[in-house]
Structure 1
Amino acid sequence: MAFNNHLQIAEKAVEAGVTKASLPLLSMLVLGFLGGAYISLGYLLDIRVVAGLPEEWGTLSSLIGAAVFPLGLVLIIVGGGELLTGNMMAVSIAALHKHVSVSKLINNWFWITIANFVGAIFIAYFFGHIVGLTEAEPYLHKTVATAQAKLDSTFLQSLVSAIGCNWLVGLAVWMTYGAEDIGGKILAIFFPIMGFVAIGFQHVVANMFIIPAAIFAGHFTWMDFLENFVPVFIGNAIGGTIFVSMLYWISYLKPTHNKQ
């Protein structure tokens, strides 16, 4: 199983960030839609698998759900898609290395956020609400309880939880740059994504699915969603940009950049 060393991973991350920031708007919107939809499908699979498990299983149920959730990022990395939280890492390190301007970074994050939201809403409404995959029991109870747990967190709790989330998600994407084959990329994705879901960290795109799914079922409001979106977006940005991009840029690329 071929792999790249740490410096090569950092260089590939910069290349990926440049590519992402240079995508035409139409490509950003289409791939962003797919990214939001794929993450939502992974979350929908989690709900469908876990909701009917016995309560006596306790946290084992969370582990089982977390083990199937990585489907979303696998589809994005292998099949193709743009995910905001992954771009918070890749485009950021390209910007730190002066290969992408701040305006291009903001432009990319803005349009990918919009497109991810549309993709997530599509799955929540058509599959969750119209088909009823999140609104028949026991799935409705699990959907509402999961959304409630996200919304019950304070601003600071949501922000810090989101930092932990994108520290792991950013690392998952980072490690895929170290693998040269599909099997290696899937393995690199699995453990960090399984970890953040099992822990219960907050992911801005995943929340774009689970909270609206509960809203479509008659629970909560869009203002509730917005109040959760803001701290989770900020926390995910910090997690991907500072705890992955900046620390690895300082470790592997900054010395070379200074010499140049």
Structure 2
Amino acid sequence: MSYVNPPDFAKKMIDAGEAKVFMSTKDTLIRAYMAGAILALAAAFAVTVTVNTGNPLIGALLFPVGFCMLYLLGFDLLTGVFTLVPLALIDKRRGVTMKGMLRNWGLVFCGNFAGAFTVAIFMSIIVTFGWSEAPSAVGEKIGHIGEGRTVGYAAHGAAGMLTLFVRAVMCNWMVSTGVVAAMMSTSVSGKVMAMWMPILVFFYMGFEHSIVNMFLFPAGLLLGGNFTIGDYLIWNEIPTVVGNLVGGLTFVGAMIYSTHHRTSPELSRDGAPAEQPAAVPAE
């Protein structure tokens, strides 16, 4: 059967995190760049569909195509490595250190941003005919998204920051569930179906994804959005990155690790912990 049992995919998660720590700088950057670019294209696609149909649900239904493509191609998003790499550190895999984990996160962040920013420039050219005329309806929509999700939060002060952070936490709860869900199957169709569901939820609910925002907000600035780089960093990107880290590691990585990889002893029939078999001494 193509279904992978939870204890088995929990081990695959740790193995994947370990592999990413030791990946070369070149490969890490290329895979992160392509992941950021493909996800940005998917976001641009979803916004275009939403504008042309007037129905945000259709855009959300189609957005996961980008996530599925980048995952099947073996590319890396910051949201995914936030969840997988710490598990290798927690599991005390040989050679995995805090420095190695932070190196991976830093490289993936830079690669994701470069890829998303490339698409932001390309889309800005497309929707303005090379900045020779006013943005199209799609360009205007992208600009307004940037305004609403920066100065819109700022207008609510601390309550806005809290809302932004919680949306970022819930985003990577869903996105990392999609990453893990792909490990539940050995078939391409099974992986796609498993990934599609949580990614659809995050996008339609308007949760905050740090890599999607690496496209939407720079593109909004290029298209004349009424917010600043400071607004983008303080009232979106930085809190979103932190929230994505908390959401993915806490609600996905740590939960699966603690219950499927470090399973507690079962209870005996009388309610007390069952005795565990004695460890076999190493020869």
TM-score by length of 1: 0.92
Amino acid aligned to 2:214: M
Question: In the TM superposition, what are the counterparts of 1:74-89 in structure 2 within 5 Å?
Answer: 74-89=68-83
Contact kept in structure 2, 1:85 and 1:237, CA below 8 Å: yes
**What aligned pairs does 1:68-79 form with structure 2 within 5 A after superposition?**
68-79=62-73
For the residue of structure 2 that corresponds to 1:67, the secondary structure is helix
> What letter is aligned with 2:230?
M
Cα deviation code 1:38-80 (max 9, x no counterpart):
11011011011111224xxxxxx22111111112211111122
Contact kept in structure 2, 1:165 and 1:239, CA below 8 Å: yes
**Is 1:133–1:139's contact at 8 Å kept on the other side of the alignment?**
no
Moved more, 8-17 or 97-106: 97-106
Instruction: List gaps (5 residues or longer) in structure 2.
Output: 154-159, 265-277
**Structure 2 Cα separation of the partners of residues 107 and 249 of structure 1:** 23
CA distance in 1, matches of 2:223, 2:64: 25
CA distance in 2, matches of 1:145, 1:90: 34
Q: Is the 8 A contact 2:127 2:136 kept in 1?
A: no
Larger CA deviation: 75-84 vs 205-214? 75-84
| % identity of equivalent residues | 29
Cα contact 2:21–2:101 (8 A) shared by 1: yes
**d(CA) in 2 for partners of 1:255, 1:195:** 29
Kindly indicate whether residue 207 of structure 2 is the aligned counterpart of residue 201 of structure 1: yes
Which 4+ stretches in 1 moved above 6 angstroms? none
Provide the rounded CA distance (Å) in 2 between the counterparts of 1:33 and 1:10.
27
Look at both structures and tell me which one has the larger radius of gyration over its CA atoms.
2
5+ residue gaps in structure 1? 55-60
Aligned to 2:239: 231
Q: How many residues of Structure 1 are paired with residues of Structure 2 in the alignment?
A: 251
- Residues of 2 paired with 1:218 and 1:145: CA distance? 9
State the Cα deviation string for residues 204-224 of structure 1 (Å, max 9, x = none).
Answer: 000000011110112222112
Q: Report 1 or 2 for greater relative contact order, CA contacts < 8 Å, sequence distance ≥ 6.
A: 1
Of 84, 87, 93, 2:87 maps to 93
**Cα shift at 1:132:** 2.1
Moved more, 109-118 or 71-80: 71-80
Aligned position for 1:241: 249
Q: Which has the higher helix share?
A: 1
CA shift in 2, pair 1:180/1:49, >3 Å: same
Structure 2 CA distance for partners of 1:133 and 1:250, relative to 1, 3 Å: farther
**Which residue number in structure 2 is paired with residue 147 of structure 1?**
146
- Give the counterpart letter for 1:254 in structure 2: R
TM-score by length of 2: 0.84
Partner of 2:39: 39
Supply the AA of the counterpart residue of 1:225.
Answer: Y
